[in-house]
Amino acid sequence: MTMGGHGYDGVERRGLMFVLSSPSGAGKTTLSRLLIERMGGLKMSVSATTRPMRPGEVDGRDYLFVDKPSFEQMVKQDELLEWATVFDNRYGTPRSPVEAALSAGQDVLFDIDWQGTQQLREKARADVVSVFILPPSAADLEKRLHSRAQDSDEVIRKRMSRASHEMSHWAEYDYIVINHDVDEAFAEVQSILKAERLKRERRVGLVGFVRNLQSQLQG
């Protein structure tokens, strides 16, 4: 785990952007929640959006709810790391809180689509680790969408139609996880994050750590 820029072994490292993408209903929201609950040193990126607030959602916790003119201003002033239009609503990631977290050695979790992932890569490729979540079948995906009871039948048909297009971008991701079982899928996603945290290039404190270790051995 990374807290305050240092891992469990005391070696300072830079945080990473951990991206989960999937068609609606494939499980990325559930997996994101489990990661936040069970992995230390990880915070959820809070997106700005122009879509209406849903029952139970809290402004500033689930999303930053803004009107369209305010969103356009954020785009013009380059205050967003990425943004996209989904079902006539706009979503985007404010830049400053993410950059502050990475510099402090904290990882940031993103629940975004392939368009947002592409934009993140363009701006910060070395900091991005991307995972695409696939459903085991089309029938399973449709069943999950109906079980959420959040959308009308018409919206579900649109989401199913859009799913094929979203899945066509699977090869652009670093890792692919097929969500047959949520516990198994979580274990796989957790393993990916743990391994990426140990990459040499992110552990900026390794040079000093190794030099200090060598001096101890030589002394």
Segment 16-72, tens digit of pLDDT = 999 999 988 788 889 999 999 999 999 999 999 999 999 999 999 989 999 999 999
Span 71-98, mean pLDDT? Answer: 93
Segment 148-203, tens digit of pLDDT = 666 677 777 777 778 888 899 999 999 999 999 999 999 999 999 999 999 999 99
Q: Where are the domains of the chain?
A: 17-204
Backbone angles phi, psi at 68, to 5 degrees: -65, -40
Query: In terms of Cα–Cα distance, which of 143, 200, 166 is closest to 21?
Result: 166
CATH class for domain 17-204? alpha beta
The DSSP output letter for 173 is S
Query: In terms of Cα–Cα distance, which of 171, 150, 154 is closest to 162?
Result: 154
